[in-house]
Structure 1
Amino acid sequence: MESLYRVETLLHGLHYYPRTNANRNRVFRSVKVFFSNPRKCQCFDLHDQLVPYKKAWTWQKRIVEEKKALIDRNQDCPDTVILLQHSPVYTMGTGSSEVYLNFDVKDAPFDVYRTERGGEVTYHGPGQLVMYPIINLRNHEMDLHWYLRTLEEVVIRVLSSAFSIKASRLDGLTGVWVGNQKVAAIGIRVSKWITYHGLALNVTTDLTPFSSIVPCGIRDRQVGSIKGLLGDGEHGEVGDLRLIDIAHESLLKEFSEVFQLQIEKQTVSDLDILKAESFKGLE
């Protein structure tokens, strides 16, 4: 399979080879960016907490509006990333079809939310790390294909460096795959070049709830997790919490390196991050 995207680490920075989609021709261009002064990225790290989906969704939308207001005033705004786990929930993209639900939406096993992200229905729950990058693509690449491929690259690096799992992309399908199993789903929304929603990586996730849907509308493939892929191998005796910690640390590291951002963790006194100092202006 021809790789759609590759990243070559150099002594002084990265070369990106993103894909454009004009008439589906694969065109690669090289953009060299140096690490001399990386942009800052506020990080709200709630990876060890279960956050209700509606709450995190509200956070994202309010942060996006604040960033757009800063841009309208010609003011700089730092990028933001939120990392967390969700209580069990099904989410659907803006154009998702209920044909991919194996239950009556009025009698669903968990809450169901139709959101403005792309893609079909998926499941979020404990043991799954969800990363919401809220970044200004004007400071990166104003190219949605580049952004999707770069999110995939982050996960591919995590699986390789932290767990020695060889993952890949599949032509025509967004996400990260190990063989026939999808281990990470990606669904995004971009508003005035500000991103939100993001990626979900199955680490120790109970995959049973996926059987109640057709995940991402793909009927002929499976959903997998890091824990399931590791089995009884090198990491087989590592506990669930440690697997989450390892994956979380690697996600932030690879996200920082691939997007060339300096992660600055914010102090969060409670789950309502909008009360944190950085977001008082949103209230």
Structure 2
Amino acid sequence: MYLYCAASKRETRGLVRVGVYKVDASIDGLICSYFVNSGGNVLSYSKLDMILLGEYCFSTVPSITPAYPSLPLGPYFDLHKPLLYSKPSKFTSLVINGHRRICDLFDLHQEQVPYEVAWSWQKEIVRDKRAQITKEGDCNDTLIILQHPPVYTLGTGSTVENLKFDMKNAPFNIYRTERGGEVTYHGPGQLVMYPIINLRMHKMDLHWYLRTLEEVVIRVLSSTFSIQASMVEGLTGVWVGNEKLAAVGIRVSSWITYHGLALNVTTDLSPFKWIIPCGIRDRQVGSIKELVREGKPCVGHGRPDLHNLDDASLIHITHKSLLEEFSQAFQLEYSHKNISSPMLYERK
């Protein structure tokens, strides 16, 4: 017997519409399917909840007696076996039964990939993952890290009032996207991370996901550069004093994320002067290079060696730290993937 907790009035109406018995039968099918696909591994209630939340936005509360005597709990559940996990902090995904999730890593951090190419690529990956989840119940996560040639992007609710130029004579290409947030700039020297992950298997909480992305950058700045960064209540992104070093804007489709974060490493900040970044008028943007080389008070004195690094070296060590902190925060194991230029650019 299962008790259903709908996430909203919409899900409640949907539950009534399909009928409890149909949902029961569908859930039984899910359980059986998972049992077969997992090779007979025991499925804990916590794992079941993760699956059901992804499919129905429902949570389950098991009773002592099965609703279907002909379908015993034995093969599918171990009532006495807890879910094994580690959770070092509130910004860390669960490690289920001691195993990290696999993340396909496309590391293009030295390349400037046109924005429209990367955007199309992300949407293609999302479509593939949705199809795979429908068929198999799960999929690997994916992370793309790259740079872009100069470009401005607008979020779903962005207003042109935050542009300080005539769109007909824009200095760079402009794209209106489906991500959240206002206008921002991408360009060389800025590391952009596009996580395409299945939040059903992490945490189905967009606030948690956004704050975790920000925490990844905060850890990078602290551990690698001794830069004291923070979040700002009511605003997205990562801040050092009054300067924004990293912008965050995401989209989620069927609990699969895309778009992501952009961190200014050695970025030329002058193109930000032609916009009101993220629609915030009373704050500025900054970069790691600017903070490190100018020796601002927010930068610790433990890394004097950083002051003489060239741009390529700053990009390299920031990229390495981003990958490490991201894998720790989301408890992922990377599977390095390659993609040829013809395969990438045919998505344009």
The TM-score bracket by the shorter chain reads 0.7 to 0.9
Identify which of 153, 159, 163 aligns with 1:101. 163
SS at the partner of 2:99? coil
- Answer yes or no: is 1:269 the counterpart of 2:340: yes
CA contact under 8 A between 1:59 and 1:274: conserved in structure 2? no
Q: Which residue number corresponds to residue 286 of structure 2?
A: 224
Q: In 1, distance between residues paired with 2:345 and 2:201?
A: 24
Q: In 1, distance between residues paired with 2:172 and 2:103?
A: 33
Pairwise CA distance, 1:204: 0.1
Amino acid corresponding to residue 210 of structure 1 in structure 2: F
CA contact under 8 A between 2:178 and 2:251: conserved in structure 1? yes
Amino acid corresponding to residue 209 of structure 1 in structure 2: P
Pairwise CA distance, 1:17: 3.0
Identify which of 173, 182, 192 aligns with 2:235. 173
CA contact under 8 A between 1:51 and 1:271: conserved in structure 2? no
Q: Which residue number corresponds to residue 37 of structure 2?
A: none
SS at the partner of 2:237? strand
Amino acid corresponding to residue 103 of structure 2 in structure 1: C
Q: Which range is displaced more, 122-131 or 258-267?
A: 258-267
- Answer yes or no: is 1:247 the counterpart of 2:309: no
Q: Which residue number corresponds to residue 125 of structure 1?
A: 187
Q: Which residue number corresponds to residue 14 of structure 1?
A: 87
- Answer yes or no: is 1:256 the counterpart of 2:327: yes
- List gaps (5 residues or longer) in structure 1: 1-11, 19-29, 276-281
Q: In 1, distance between residues paired with 2:185 and 2:309?
A: 25
Q: In 2, distance between residues paired with 1:47 and 1:60?
A: 16
CA contact under 8 A between 1:169 and 1:175: conserved in structure 2? yes
- Answer yes or no: is 1:140 the counterpart of 2:202: yes
How many matched pairs? Answer: 254
Deviations 1:252-277 (A, max 9, x none): 000000000001111233263489xx
Q: Which residue number corresponds to residue 90 of structure 1?
A: 152
How many percent of aligned residue pairs carry the same amino acid? 63
Deviations 1:108-147 (A, max 9, x none): 0000000000000000000000000000000100000000
Q: In 1, distance between residues paired with 2:281 and 2:108?
A: 32
Pairwise CA distance, 1:222: 0.4
Q: In 2, distance between residues paired with 1:45 and 1:31?
A: 22
- Answer yes or no: is 1:61 the counterpart of 2:123: yes
Pairwise CA distance, 1:74: 3.2
Kindly tell me: are residues 31 and 83 of structure 1, through their superposed partners in 2, closer, same or farther at Cα, counting changes over 3 Å? closer
CA contact under 8 A between 2:93 and 2:330: conserved in structure 1? no
Q: In 2, distance between residues paired with 1:73 and 1:31?
A: 24
Q: TM-score, normalised by structure 2?
A: 0.70
- Answer yes or no: is 1:213 the counterpart of 2:213: no
Deviations 1:63-111 (A, max 9, x none): 0001011112134310000000000000000110000000011110000
SS at the partner of 1:204? coil
CA RMSD of aligned residues (A): 1.9
The structure with the larger Rg is: 2
Structure whose residues are more often strand by fraction? 1
